[in-house]
Structure 1
Amino acid sequence: MATRLTESASYAHLWSTPALVGVFDDQHRLQTWLDILAALAAAQAELGLVPAVAAEQIAEHARVERLDLEFVAAETRHTSHSTLGLIRGLQQVLPEPAREYVYYGATVQDLTDTWSGLVMRDVGRLVRADLARAHARMLRLAAAHRDTVMVGRTHGQPGAPITFGFKAATWADEIGRHIVRLDEGDARWSVGQLAGAVGVLGFFEPDGQELRRRFCARLGLRDPGISWTATRDRVAEFGSVLSMIAGTLARVGNEVYELQRPEIGELSEAPRGSTVGSITMPHKRNPEASEHLDTLARIARAAAGVLVEGMVSGHERDGRAWKAEWMALPEVALTAGTAASLAGDLLDGLVVDEARMRANLDRTGQRWASERVLAELSRRLGKHRAQELMQEALSTADGADLVALLASRGVADPADLAAWVESPAIGTAGAMVDAVVARGTPGTTV
């Protein structure tokens, strides 16, 4: 039964995707735990630590559908131990000789940290795939609108001209770095855990390191090289990268959110006939997807903060650190992963109004050209003298003709002044767009 609005049948689609639910679903998690126990028994059997027949029987019976899950839950509550209910539930369905070899020499953290390694591997790859889709769309927008002139805004106010292609290219460039972060980080966080009581694998002496290597290999994870029960930087890094990804996507969402405002009207989400913006104001068309990207990012950042807090742990094992991850890791994975999927959908249907972009620029009169004019005058008069002159000229009444104001002061030929205000300085913007598009999506061929 769902206990949170984010898990309800009506609203869960806003906070997860089917693929992400497949990773964190309770049945799948339990089955993954059972697979980890089976892999451990098989690796132990290879080294003669447990009978081969016991490992085979554990692998055969370690199926979630065979367990009495009510019994597992009751034993977990009764013993106040995180995994003893699961152990006893599996022992119930095993033949007698194999029961003693379930969870042989392992700890709760061996099981759950290894699960975390699998989660980080699988979620990281799901997010990467969705980011690659969004990135490709950003590159197409950048190329298509390389020379689409629009207002560049700073502090929320109209500044100098840019192109929409340049704006989209900054999105793509940032997302491209996140894709590289995921690729590079996978080697660090896709690892297993087999540490034993205090990390030194004393239960398995002298076979501990070889056992861990074989155990990790069976699960498709890397051998960490040393126990990481108290070192939580891997999980913290993973959560931080996901929160950064969500932050970038929120920046994109906020651009669409702001530029869809009717008084600006330069971008808009794809219209959907079934969407109801407001039940009291039927004319509204709300930027639902772009707004939600910011909502998801806020939760991702908060959850990632909990994971970073876990880096401050005590001695060789500290439940305060890694048990908090059981809640925070799914939270950051679900929200950032949903954001990556949603961003791709948003960009696929993004509507770009080129005419409105140009009209908004023209509405500022000749003032949009102040940077270009300042640069040209600086070559003639010196930077600071030119700036003082521009400040004085632009302090006159709104709508005044900048060319006439400056020409009246005799600082430049009127024809030159007219040329400067007619030609936006966007050549370098186009060159930067070309460079981003040429690089393409990391790990792919353009």
Structure 2
Amino acid sequence: MGAHLVDSVLYGHLWSTPEIHRLLDDEGRLQAWLEILATLAEAQADVGLVPADAARAIRKHADVGLLDLAQVAEQTRATGHSTLGLIRCLLEILPPDAREWVYYGATVQDLSDTWTALLMRRVADILERDLVRAEKAALELAKRHRDTVMCGRTHGQPGLPITFGFKAAVWASELHRHRIRVAEGRVRWEVVQLGGALGTMEFWGDRALSLLEEFARRLGLGVPDIPWITARDGIAEFAGLLAMVTATLAKIGQEVYDLQRPEIGELREPFSPGQVGSITMPHKRNPELSEHLVTLSKIVRADATVAVEGMVHEHERDGRAWKTEWVVLPEACLLTGAALDFGCRLLEGLEVDADRMRENLQARGGYVLSEPAMHALADRIGKHAAHTVVYEATRAGLDRGVDLETALLADPRISGQLAPEEIARCLDVQGALGAAPAFVDRVVASCNDWIV
């Protein structure tokens, strides 16, 4: 088993996806670094800083397959430097006339931060793709269950009736806003880093700014207004977005986790034949996807906190702050990828028991409709007075074990104001749904404008 669960043969599928893992393993990271170095040499050749032949040679040898990773690791340990081991091994395979031009004037953060920007761009692509998938699944649930009545709950207790479509539409709307955040944030995250020793680009003289523009153009990244060696707000914002995305998925998972409890039994996450809930209790069907979404989000939210701490930098470079990102950002990306995969599977395969939802609503004896009764009475005696009267009537009815209609009719302060047929109208579930179905329609229409 790997030292980290994402590298475990047994458990890696729970903590990452192959797609994101390939970006972050040693081969993926080093290949990306080599490509950045080759692009830098080409940009420097374009502005007359590096011979064109040298840039072509660096590009030709920018292949992790040409390197001995064990030797790179040994040289990294021997030098105690983040990238000098890589450079020494690269120099060995380059032709002599190209060796002095690789990594020309650049520093570690030029390489690693530019890689981070490219990583965020790729992960943002995955976010957009998988958020669309999750949003579509939530919208389908909202449309299908637009009018499926159920108990709405506040503080864990039955409140007013809602529809399950309304609940799913809230999910879809939140997922949709994350897609907007991704689109809006790219301009701030996906920017190149090239500053040299302290960010002033002094090594490249009067060609510095043209080099910055060309380097960014070749990588398809934005040009910062100033190098961001100590300005880590973009990293913190991106990590914060990952935390928010996983928190939304965790909220959905928590809801399914609670409503799958047999005593409620309104939702069930997808279940595959052969899936085992308990090694000691064979009957169990555990909400594995749902609870794991909550687990993943807890860790990503913690990673985001560390990323925000990284904004506190000392002077013009501070490895104590910057290197924490080497741990938390990859982990947050890996876990978010896994969460999106699980969240999509949960939403796409979610089983909704509409009959049980209605049964649970009816089992409340009408008490979830106390607000419509209070509203009707308020028209006669005022809202606050009506609240007091209906409150006392419902407490008395619950103590006696009778339904709400009986409790209301038994209180002369209510029956003296409202006729039996008026009380009966207050207890109509459909009339108590308010604008819930209309809100579903609004979300579906709004989100569909963005779905392609």
Fold shared by both chains (TM-score > 0.5) = yes
Within 1, Cα distance between the matches of 2:192 and 2:356?
A: 54
Give the equivalent residue in structure 1 for 2:291.
Answer: 291
Within 1, Cα distance between the matches of 2:355 and 2:408?
A: 29
Q: Which amino acid aligns with 1:72?
A: V
Alignment of 1:98-109 (within 5 A): 98-109=98-109
Alignment of 1:327-342 (within 5 A): 327-342=327-342
Is the 1:132–1:441 Cα contact (8 Å) retained in structure 2?
no
CA RMSD of aligned residues (A): 1.2
Is the 2:394–2:408 Cα contact (8 Å) retained in structure 1?
no
Does residue 415 (structure 1) correspond to residue 421 (structure 2)? The answer is: yes
Within 1, Cα distance between the matches of 2:279 and 2:95?
A: 61
Is the 2:173–2:447 Cα contact (8 Å) retained in structure 1?
no
Does residue 205 (structure 1) correspond to residue 232 (structure 2)? The answer is: no
Shift of 1:145: 0.6
Structure 1 consecutive aligned stretches of length 4 or more whose deviation exceeds 4 Å: none
Within 2, Cα distance between the matches of 1:34 and 1:313?
A: 28
Q: Which amino acid aligns with 1:113?
A: D
Q: Which amino acid aligns with 1:384?
A: H
C-alpha spacing 1:368/1:322, structure 2 compared with 1 (3 Å) = same
Within 1, Cα distance between the matches of 2:392 and 2:251?
A: 36
Within 2, Cα distance between the matches of 1:34 and 1:161?
A: 59
Is the 2:145–2:165 Cα contact (8 Å) retained in structure 1?
yes
Shift of 1:404: 3.1
Give the equivalent residue in structure 1 for 2:451.
Answer: 444
Within 1, Cα distance between the matches of 2:276 and 2:91?
A: 53
Within 2, Cα distance between the matches of 1:154 and 1:423?
A: 18
Alignment of 1:364-443 (within 5 A): 364-396=364-396, 397-408=399-410, 409=412, 410-424=416-430, 425-441=432-448, 443=450
Partner SS for 2:435: helix
Does residue 7 (structure 1) correspond to residue 7 (structure 2)? The answer is: yes
Shifted more, 131-140 versus 407-416: the winner is 407-416
Give per-residue Cα distances to partners, 1:191-226, cap 9 Å, x unaligned: 110011111100011111110111111112111121
Is the 1:199–1:229 Cα contact (8 Å) retained in structure 2?
yes
Does residue 80 (structure 1) correspond to residue 77 (structure 2)? The answer is: no
Give the equivalent residue in structure 2 for 1:359.
Answer: 359
Is the 1:107–1:196 Cα contact (8 Å) retained in structure 2?
yes
Within 2, Cα distance between the matches of 1:87 and 1:423?
A: 71
Is the 2:132–2:451 Cα contact (8 Å) retained in structure 1?
no
Give per-residue Cα distances to partners, 1:158-187, cap 9 Å, x unaligned: 111010000000001111110100111111
Shift of 1:402: 2.5
TM-score normalized with structure 2 length: 0.97
Give the equivalent residue in structure 2 for 1:144.
Answer: 144
Q: How many residues align?
A: 445
Shift of 1:441: 4.8
Is the 1:147–1:430 Cα contact (8 Å) retained in structure 2?
yes
Does residue 275 (structure 1) correspond to residue 275 (structure 2)? The answer is: yes
Is the 1:40–1:215 Cα contact (8 Å) retained in structure 2?
yes
Within 1, Cα distance between the matches of 2:423 and 2:450?
A: 47
TM-score normalized with structure 1 length: 0.98
Is the 1:30–1:64 Cα contact (8 Å) retained in structure 2?
yes
Q: Which amino acid aligns with 1:12?
A: G
Within 1, Cα distance between the matches of 2:353 and 2:419?
A: 36
Within 1, Cα distance between the matches of 2:387 and 2:221?
A: 61
Does residue 61 (structure 1) correspond to residue 67 (structure 2)? The answer is: no
Within 2, Cα distance between the matches of 1:228 and 1:204?
A: 18
Within 2, Cα distance between the matches of 1:66 and 1:2?
A: 25
Shift of 1:398: 4.9
C-alpha spacing 1:35/1:433, structure 2 compared with 1 (3 Å) = same
Alignment of 1:171-320 (within 5 A): 171-320=171-320
Within 2, Cα distance between the matches of 1:405 and 1:65?
A: 79
Shift of 1:442: 6.3
C-alpha spacing 1:442/1:45, structure 2 compared with 1 (3 Å) = farther
Within 2, Cα distance between the matches of 1:282 and 1:406?
A: 47
Partner SS for 2:366: helix
Partner SS for 1:422: coil
Within 2, Cα distance between the matches of 1:185 and 1:365?
A: 49
Within 2, Cα distance between the matches of 1:131 and 1:38?
A: 33
Q: Which amino acid aligns with 1:420?
A: C
Within 2, Cα distance between the matches of 1:377 and 1:422?
A: 16
Q: Percent identity among equivalent residues?
A: 54
Shift of 1:403: 2.5
Is the 2:202–2:208 Cα contact (8 Å) retained in structure 1?
yes
Shift of 1:319: 0.9
Shift of 1:407: 2.8
Is the 1:179–1:442 Cα contact (8 Å) retained in structure 2?
no
Shift of 1:253: 0.2
Unpaired stretches in structure 1, ≥5 consecutive residues: none
Shift of 1:3: 1.2
Give per-residue Cα distances to partners, 1:65-110, cap 9 Å, x unaligned: 1112222111111110100000001000000010001100000000
Partner SS for 1:440: helix
Within 2, Cα distance between the matches of 1:71 and 1:22?
A: 21
Is the 1:128–1:179 Cα contact (8 Å) retained in structure 2?
yes
Is the 2:243–2:297 Cα contact (8 Å) retained in structure 1?
yes
Shift of 1:240: 0.1
Shift of 1:406: 2.5
Give per-residue Cα distances to partners, 1:336-380, cap 9 Å, x unaligned: 121111111111110000000000000000211101111111112
Q: Which amino acid aligns with 1:249?
A: L
Q: Which amino acid aligns with 1:435?
A: R
Is the 2:289–2:342 Cα contact (8 Å) retained in structure 1?
yes
Unpaired stretches in structure 2, ≥5 consecutive residues: none
Give the equivalent residue in structure 1 for 2:343.
Answer: 343
Within 2, Cα distance between the matches of 1:378 and 1:423?
A: 19
